[in-house]
Amino acid sequence: MWRSRLIFTFFLLWFFLVIGKLFYWQVLSYNKLAAAADKQHFISFTLPALRGDILASDGSILVTNQPAYLVWAEPPKVEGKKRLTDVLSNVLKMPQASVSAILDTSNALWVPLARRIDEDTVNTLKQQNLAGIGFEKMGKRYYPEASMSAQILGFVASDNIGDDKGYFGIEGSYDKELRGRDGFLRQEKDPYGFPIVIGEGERIDPENGRNVVLHIDKIVQNSIETKLKKGIEKFGAKAGSIIVMEPATGAILGMASYPSYDQSSFSEYDKELYKNPTVATSYEPGSTFKSIVMASAISEKVVTPQTETDEEGPVKISGYEIRTWDNKYRGRINMTEILQHSSNVGMVFVGEKLGKDKFLDYLEKFGFGQSTGIDLSDEQVPNLRPVNQWREIDLATATFGQGIAVTPIQMIRAVAVLANGGKLVEPHIVSKIIDSFGNETEIKPKVIRQVITPHGSKVITEMLVQSVIGGEAHYKIPKGYRIAGKTGTAQIPVAGHYDEQKTIASFVGYAPADNPKFVMLVTITEPTSSPWGSETAAPLFMDITSDLLAYYKIFPSP
């Protein structure tokens, strides 16, 4: 009896052992075994999406893709390590110690060596027949215009998980549209690795990135970059910028800054250069701001071009003395002459006529203290003084553009108001986006609000034309054209006071005055040949204007 019970117990135990083992393989190890089986029977890989191109206004390429590769190594399969290290170090231009350290990663079956290597370099490596070294295609950007427009375009680099991502400029702002969406392929394979046509499979096609078309005109951009660089050298300046914009629509036709960087080797440059100074840095606009204040006063009808005031001498405000730039006082002058002679004393009068409340109201209407909405990710907005902190002296100095900080893009957008009948527009770099099927999404011009009256716009334009013709400086004005504009020479604030020597020289204007095709702002930082806008920024403005008028086939008046 006990023997049969013993045998029964033995079989029962064996039964539970088998059940347990089956449970282990079929339930606990299910995922591991299913993955192993999947790997044996299926191939799966990502179908990478091509990043979209960035195109100029004429459809020509500013940024596209070029063939490039990830070079990787399988350390266990590497042969002749010393020779391999030498070859890789020479061809990839990497330090031998770095290559050796990567290949010495003992636990790794696969290690990446170098990213975004061009085809010619890869072909050189392939010819060496290096065991344990492989290549995988990856994206790399190509800039046919070299470093032109670097601060507009931005660059592409790897993010923290190794995927491509756009940084700064258009690559950063429009990264989502440009990157597209990778696809996926999973297919049953035969023992030779070939796909089985009637087997199981799944495919999601990649969606290539969209192309982004800019308003930037390549000819205009090249012209302003070349001339800005020459101007910086000629005037012995530290930095500078130029923006050219269509006043009616806010389309940015050209945008240049110096110093800049080369986006194809961005890591070799100071990170501070990645930001676009036309949207990311602020300055005190100086006398160019007089055009805005005068336009506000004209629109409010508190002054007319013929309104007169006395310019007998310096004006005392709250214990401070406000002088003219040249310390010359002309007696009875009208509003047009205030702009022609860039009279700070005259502008204080205008500011008093306008009044603090109206002045601050117009500051806001012209868009100061607010984002312009331009489609660049690095825009900064300098804060305006809170309303209750404006003292009499602050109002006085602000009328001639000191004690107030603006960005170049805010300034040019405000002056565009004077040029286009009084409307504040939203500036834009991008004109349309085209998907991989050819469908276009246009980014329409946006008018934000009416700031000054159309009549006010016409009056201030005429005053600014007179300011150019009868101004203090005698720069060469293109013959036969009416150009509206204003010079500016602003002192630079340093540690609570203004530097005696250093200035930001600028000129802002638009042409042809009666039907402006473009508005342009030129700023030159710390010129050493002369501190004055009339002797640096103004001649540069007129030189570029001459070219632009010819380029746009705008004929002079007889």
Residues near another protein, by CB under 8 A: 60-61, 64-67, 119, 137, 142, 144-146, 148, 189-190, 192-198, 218-219, 222, 480, 550, 555-556, 558
* Shorter beta-carbon distance to another protein: residue 137 or 444: 137
Amino acid in position 467: S
| CA atoms 373, 376, 378, 379: torsion sign | negative
| 467-499: b (≥16 Cβ within 10 Å) or e | bbeebbbebebbeebbbbbbbbbbbeeeeeeee
Q: Which long-range contacts does 102-105 make (Cβ < 8 Å, 24+ apart)?
A: 102/73, 103/73, 103/75, 103/78, 104/75, 105/75
* Shorter beta-carbon distance to another protein: residue 76 or 195: 195
Answer for the pair 425, 413: CB distance below 8 angstroms, yes or no. yes
* Shorter beta-carbon distance to another protein: residue 86 or 190: 190
* Shorter beta-carbon distance to another protein: residue 2 or 192: 192
Amino acid in position 124: T
The least CB distance from residue 198 to another protein, in Å, is 5
* Shorter beta-carbon distance to another protein: residue 153 or 416: 153
The least CB distance from residue 539 to another protein, in Å, is 17
Answer for the pair 339, 469: CB distance below 8 angstroms, yes or no. no
The least CB distance from residue 148 to another protein, in Å, is 7
The least CB distance from residue 518 to another protein, in Å, is 17
* Shorter beta-carbon distance to another protein: residue 63 or 333: 63
To which residue do tokens 């960087």 refer? 261
The least CB distance from residue 216 to another protein, in Å, is 12
* Residue 181 DSSP class: B
* Shorter beta-carbon distance to another protein: residue 177 or 225: 225
The least CB distance from residue 494 to another protein, in Å, is 39
- Taking Cα atoms as reference points, which of 68, 69, 78, 71 lies closest to residue 108? 78
**What is the full DSSP assignment across 7-71?**
HHHHHHHHHHHHHHHHHIIIIITHHHHHHHHHHHHEEEEEEPPPPPPEE-TTS-EEEEEEEEEEE
The least CB distance from residue 194 to another protein, in Å, is 3
The least CB distance from residue 166 to another protein, in Å, is 19
Alpha helices in 96-217 (DSSP H): 96-103, 119-127, 150-153, 169-173, 175-179
Amino acid in position 475: Y
477 three-class SS:
coil
Instruction: State in Å, rounded, how far the first CA of the chain is from the last one.
Output: 131
Beta strands at 252-258 and 239-245: parallel, antiparallel or unpaired: antiparallel
Report CA Rg, the chain.
33
* Shorter beta-carbon distance to another protein: residue 142 or 329: 142
The least CB distance from residue 412 to another protein, in Å, is 24
Q: Which long-range contacts does 9-18 make (Cβ < 8 Å, 24+ apart)?
A: none
* Shorter beta-carbon distance to another protein: residue 37 or 196: 196
Alpha helices in 174-289 (DSSP H): 175-179, 218-235, 277-280
* Shorter beta-carbon distance to another protein: residue 199 or 454: 199
The least CB distance from residue 211 to another protein, in Å, is 12
The least CB distance from residue 195 to another protein, in Å, is 5
To which residue do tokens 């730039």 refer? 325
* Shorter beta-carbon distance to another protein: residue 20 or 195: 195
The least CB distance from residue 244 to another protein, in Å, is 16
To which residue do tokens 């204003």 refer? 486
| CA atoms 457, 460, 466, 470: torsion sign | negative
* Shorter beta-carbon distance to another protein: residue 29 or 226: 226
